[in-house]
Amino acid sequence: MLAFSFWEAFWLIFIAFLWINLLMVFFSVIFDLFRDHELSGWAKAGWMVALLLLPFLGLLIYVIVRGPSMAKRSMKQQADAQADFDSHVREVAGGGAASELEKASALHAAGKLSDEEFVGLKSKILSA
């Protein structure tokens, strides 16, 4: 049976935390490297070699040299994803009260809704 003292458990958790954070930074740098369209293939290969041969130094240099542009690319990707999501929601939702009124008026013009039904539907749409 393994018996850990408090400090041994503390250091184990602390080292695991640092290792996980290092891996997160490493993979975020790799994803950023391949997200960047300004770098040539050879430059990406050079960065990958530097990251694999000297991981700590390579990460440090990459974050110092390319950190600000890394943040801009990340924000642009998030803004593009939000715009895609918003457009998808608009398509699925059907456009709101204005499009509902347009549909009701087209049905009224086609004679499928009576005047009373149209007025009732119009007031229901405008009150919502």
The domain tally of the chain equals: 1
Tell whether 36 is covered by a domain.
yes
**Residue 25 domain boundaries:** 1-70
Residue 62 in any domain: the answer is yes
- Position 107 in a domain: no
The alpha-helical segments, DSSP class H, found in 1-128 are: 6-35, 41-53, 55-93, 97-109, 115-127
Question: Is 29 a member of any domain?
Answer: yes
- For the range 72-76, what are the long-range contacts, defined as Cβ-Cβ under 8 Å and sequence gap of 24 or more? 73/32, 73/35, 73/36, 74/32
pLDDT by residue for the chain (128 residues), tens only, comes to 567 788 898 999 999 999 999 999 999 999 999 988 888 999 999 999 999 999 999 999 999 999 889 989 999 999 999 999 988 887 777 667 777 888 888 888 998 888 888 888 888 888 86
Does 125 fall in a domain? no
DSSP state of 37: S
Structural domain contains residue 123: no
| 103 domain residue, yes or no | no
